Chain A
Amino acid sequence: MMIKYDYITFALTLILVITGMIAIFSATGAGATDEQGYFLRQLIWAIVGILVMFGVSFISLRFINRFSYWLYGISMFLLLLVLMVGKAGQGAERWLVLGPINLQPSELAKLATIMAVSKFLADKYADVNKLKYFIISVALILLPFLLITRQPDLGTGLVFLALIIPLLFWAGLNWFHIFTIVTPIFTMIFSFNFWTFMVLMLVIALILAYSRKKPIIMTAVFLLNITVGILTPYMWNQLRPYQQQRIMTFINPEKDPKGAGYQIIQSQVAIGSGGIWGKGYLKGTQTQLRFLPAQHTDFIFSVIGEEFGFIGASGILFIYLILILRLIKISSSIRDQFESMIIIGIATIFMFHIIINIGMTVGMAPVTGLPLPFLSYGGSSLLTNLIMVGVILNISRHKFIH
Chain B
Amino acid sequence: MNELTRQQLKQRKIIFNIFVIGLFLVLFYGFFTIQVAGRDKYYEIALDNSVRELIQHPVRGTIRDRNEKILVDNRPSFVVSVIPRQLSAEKLEDLAQIINEDPEYIREKIRGRHTFLPVIIKRDLNYQTIVKLEENRLNLPGVLVELESKRFYVDGVLSPHIFGYVGEVTQVEASRNKDFLPGEMIGKSGLELKYDTNLRGVKGVHFVKVDAEGRDLGMINLERNIDPIPGMDLYLTLDYSFQQFAESLMVDKRGAIVALDPRNGNILAFVSKPDYDPRQLAGRIAPEIWYKLQSDTSHPLYNRVTQSKYPPGSTYKLVAAIAALQEGIITTKWKAYCPGYFRLGRKVIHCWNTKGHGELTILPAIKHSCNVFFYKLGLKIGLETWAEYSQKFFFGQPTGIDLPNESAGLVPTVEYFNSRYGPNGWTKGNLANLAIGQGELLTTPLQMAQFAMILASKGVVHNPHIADYLYDAQHDERIYFPSKINYVQGISDEVYDLIREGMLNVVHGGTGWRASVYGIRVAGKTGTAQNPHGEDHAWFIAFAPYENPVIALAVIIENAGGGGAIAAPLAGLCMEKFFYDRILPRRVAMKDTIQVDSLESAIRIKVDAIPSLEISSPDSI
Contact = CB atoms under 8 A, between A and B. Distances in A.
A124 interface: yes
Contact of A290 (B9, B38, B213): B213
Contact of B39 (A172, A276, A320): A276
Contacts of B211: 289-291
A273 interface: yes
Contacts of B8: 172
Contacts of B23: 351, 355
Contacts of A340: 4, 9
Interface residues of B, number: 41
A309 B35 contact: yes
B45 interface: yes
B533 interface: no
B24 A328 contact: no
B9 A272 contact: no
A284 to B, nearest CB: 9
Contacts of B4: 172, 334-335, 337, 340
Which among A122, A273, A305, A332 has the highest number of chain B CB atoms within 10 Å? A273
A268 B34 contact: yes
B32 interface: yes
Nearest to B6: A335
Contacts of B10: 332
Interface in A262-291: 266, 268-276, 285-286, 289-291
A360 B266 CA distance: 74
A317 B39 contact: no
Nearest to B13: A332
A325 B46 contact: no
Interface stretch (B14-22, B89-97, B573-581): B14-22
A126 B2 contact: yes
A123 B2 CA distance: 6
Contacts of A291: 46, 49-50, 211-212
Given A271-B31, A291-B49, A122 B1 contact: yes
Nearest to A121: B2
Interface in A324-367: 324-325, 328-329, 331-338, 340, 344, 347, 351, 355, 358-359, 362-364
Interface string B41-56: 1110111011000000
A273 B42 contact: yes
A272 B39 contact: yes
Given A351-B23, A359-B30, A337 B12 contact: no
Contacts of B226: none
A189 interface: no
Contacts of A286: 46, 49-50
Given A272-B38, A285-B49, A325-B20, A364 B30 contact: yes
Which among B16, B21, B36, B209 has the highest number of chain A CB atoms within 10 Å? B16
B1 A170 contact: no
B3 A272 contact: no
Nearest to B8: A172
A166 B16 contact: yes
Contacts of B209: 289
B35 A305 contact: yes
Given A317-B27, A317-B31, A351-B23, A337 B2 contact: yes
Contact of A269 (B9, B32, B45): B45
A158 to B, nearest CB: 15
A289 B210 contact: yes
Contacts of B594: none
A274 B43 CA distance: 7
Which among B3, B35, B50, B210 has the highest number of chain A CB atoms within 10 Å? B35
Given A124-B2, A269-B42, A355-B23, A305 B31 contact: yes
A333 B10 CA distance: 8
A324 B20 contact: yes
A170 B12 CA distance: 7
Contacts of B9: 332-333, 335, 340
B21 A321 contact: yes
A272 B24 contact: no
Given A268-B42, A328-B20, A336-B1, A310 B212 contact: no
B464 to A, nearest CB: 59
Nearest to A275: B39
B28 interface: yes
A285 B50 contact: yes
A313 B31 contact: yes
A114 to B, nearest CB: 16
Interface in B196-213: 209-213
A310 B3 contact: no
B251 interface: no
B217 interface: yes
Which among B8, B13, B209 has the highest number of chain A CB atoms within 10 Å? B13
A314 B39 contact: no
Contact of B20 (A169, A271, A351): A351
Interface string A293-337: 000000000000100011001100100110011001101111111
Contacts of A121: 2
B26 interface: yes
Given A169-B12, A291-B50, A291-B212, A314 B2 contact: no
Contacts of A272: 34-35, 38-39, 41-43, 45-46
Given A286-B49, A289-B217, A321-B21, A328 B16 contact: yes
B33 to A, nearest CB: 8
Contacts of B39: 272-276
Which among A123, A272, A328 has the highest number of chain B CB atoms within 10 Å? A272
B35 A317 contact: no
A313 B31 CA distance: 8
A275 B35 contact: yes
Contacts of A126: 2
Contacts of A268: 34, 42
Contacts of B31: 271, 305, 310, 313-314, 317, 362
Interface in A154-208: 166, 169-170, 172
A289 B212 contact: yes
10 contacts: A172-B4, A268-B42, A271-B31, A273-B39, A274-B35, A285-B46, A317-B28, A325-B20, A334-B4, A362-B34
Interface of A: 121-124, 126, 166, 169-170, 172, 266, 268-276, 285-286, 289-291, 305, 309-310, 313-314, 317, 320-321, 324-325, 328-329, 331-338, 340, 344, 347, 351, 355, 358-359, 362-364
Given A351-B23, A362-B34, 9 more contacts: A266-B49, A268-B34, A274-B35, A275-B39, A285-B49, A286-B49, A335-B3, A335-B9, A344-B16
Q: Please provide the 7 A-B residue pairs with the shortest distance between their CB atoms, ordered closest to farther.
A: A272-B42, A273-B46, A332-B13, A310-B35, A275-B39, A272-B34, A362-B30
Interface of B: 1-4, 8-10, 12-13, 15-17, 20-21, 23-24, 26-28, 30-32, 34-36, 38-39, 41-43, 45-47, 49-50, 209-213, 217
